[in-house]
Amino acid sequence: MTMLLPLPWFARGDLRQRTQQIASVFARHGLSWMSFQLGLGDLAGLDRAPRSPGATSPVRQKQAEHLRLALEELGGTFIKLGQAISTRPDIIPPEYAAELEKLQDSAPPVPLPDILQVVREELHQSPEDIFAQFDPEPTASASIGQVHSCRLRSGAEIVMKIQRPGIAEQIEQDLLILGGMAEWAQAHTGFAREYRLVSLVEEFAHTIHGELDYRAEGRNADRFRVNFINEPALTIPRVYWRYTTSRVLTMERVHGIKISDTAELDRAGINRTRVAENSVRMMVREAFEFGFFHADAHPGNFFVRPDAGIVLLDFGMVSQLTPQLQDTLLAMGLALVQRDALRMTEDLYALGVATDPALRPVLQRDIEHLLARFGSAALRDLAAAQMLNELLGIAFRRHLQLPSEVVMLFRVIIQSEGLGLVLDPNFVLLSYAGPFLLSIWQQRHSPEIMTAQLARGTLEAAQITLQLPRQLSHVLDQAERGTLQVNISPEGMRDIMQQMHRMVNRVALSVVLAGTIMGLGLITVAYHPAQWERPGGIIIIVTFLASLAFGGLLMWSIFRTGGE
């Protein structure tokens, strides 16, 4: 008989029905082990015999398939969650990453009257006053919204993405439940604590909130257009802001051939090698020149113009690289070219993915094996996907959590290489990307840039120097008045202080017990007032026994904590 535990907060009240549905779907797909890890087991009344997420690869493969089916059944939020998890092979087994990549964000179309009602509510106009034509059949129907082709009264051809009625409320409820499950798991499981599951769910919530606000997607498109204003080989559709709100996005309709439709590209006489070169150049410039890149590089978001130029669509998923991240990634690429395992290890520490100094030699050895596996092959002959997957495998084995922006960039590079191979069987991404990366590296380290950086550093140092006398005077004034306080809280100091408190308390208790026992002995020998024998004997015996009991408890606590 299974004893049911109190339900977590996210399984009560208004959230109970949805939480119970999630637990039931997991149970039906044989994922009871996951239900227990997420605090859902008792809600579904499952047998408390969680199945491990994988002693063998075939078992993990089967469980990964059932996880994908369960997420598809749970719909929108969970499909998006699975897609986000699939981009993190640094924290999930490869079988799960590969299976979750199969998730398709599709849903049955919303009836036309409901879609038009959203348009009325958002644009405060009748659809008849806006459109000369509105295609009732959506060109795409996903979990958050669907897309319709239209023509405005002005004659302009547009596409309009319209959010599903009620989807925002459903996602907010699901995010509350996911947040609660993450908090529960992080409090009860080592895996969730190690990978900071709460932070990952918060990051996912931030991403999906961005996808719910279509104005953010419109701003992303405008930013890409400004960045590539002088790039003739790339087209970014224009946003019609007059007809755009948080739930409706209206953009220029552009025409082209789907980039993966090689037969149609050949019939149109388009040079596929040039298409591959253009797509790679765009990807490199996005990430390393502008630090703002399109993070959803599947073929459906790329179309090809008759001149082999690229049309880029769907700006809901983007990511950014700080200048520091750009420099570190470029340095890693240079270390790869030079087969410098030590430098690559240092760069991983610079990324912040490794902090334990004891891990450094192990990590360096892993990277040495990685570089040795590729032998002396020229950089232009190496497969980027294979190397990045190997690097992500090292991160997974060593429990390293890469920055999400870096993982997304790795995924874009892998997708770009796969797309390039579809276009040109002889395509090698690094042979195309290498010259662009070298050019960007030289630009970032040109004498002019270095001089400007030196000038900025000198100016900042001068400002600090000018402020130093005033700040020093303030510190000395506080010291003279006796109000100066110094707070030191390095990482891990709290645990050390707690251990020191326990140790000092035990020493103090030991001294008190020893003093008590010695005092009892002295009293027994030296102190004999009248009428003292009987009550004094009882007091001494009770005190002695209490001292022995406290001493035993002290010894047990020391033994139980391994002598700490």
DSSP structure string for 243-288: G--SSEEEEE----EETT-HHHHHHTT--HHHHHHHHHHHHHIIII
Of 169, 186, 171, which Cα lies nearest the Cα of 8?
Answer: 186
Q: How far is CA 439 from the centre of its chain?
A: 30
CB atoms inside a 10 Å sphere around CB 449: 12
Residue 5 gets which letter from DSSP?
Answer: P
Long-range contacts of 369-375 (CB under 8 A, 24+ apart): 370/341, 370/394, 371/336, 371/339, 371/341
**Secondary structure class of 537 (helix, strand, coil):** helix
DSSP structure string for 350-418: HHTS---GGGHHHHHHHHHHHHHHTTT--GGGS-HHHHHHHHHHHHHHTT----HHHHHHHHHHHHHHH
Give the type of residue at 401.
Q
Burial degree of 168 (CB within 10 A; 0-12, 13-18, 19+): middle
Distance of alpha carbon 550 from alpha carbon 560, whole angstroms: 15
**Secondary structure class of 310 (helix, strand, coil):** strand
**Catalytic-role residue among 174, 296, 314, 366:** 296
Residue 9 gets which letter from DSSP?
Answer: G
Cα-based angle 318, 321, 324 (whole degrees, multiple of 5): 175
Phi and psi angles of residue 191, each rounded to the nearest 5 degrees, phi first: -60, -45
Cα end-to-end distance, the chain, whole Å = 39
Of 300, 258, 254, 301, which Cα lies nearest the Cα of 158?
Answer: 254
Distance of alpha carbon 285 from alpha carbon 305, whole angstroms: 20
CB atoms inside a 10 Å sphere around CB 384: 19
296 as an active site residue: the answer is yes
414 Cβ partners below 8 Å, 6+ apart?
384, 385, 388, 389
Residues 238-267 as b or e (16 or more Cβ within 10 Å = b)? bbbeebbbebbbbbeebebbebbebeebee
- Name the CA radius of gyration of the chain, rounded: 32
**237 touches 254 (CB < 8 A):** yes
Residues 115-141 as b or e (16 or more Cβ within 10 Å = b)? bbebbeebbeeeeeebbeebeeebeeb
Distance of alpha carbon 285 from alpha carbon 436, whole angstroms: 8
Catalytic positions are 296
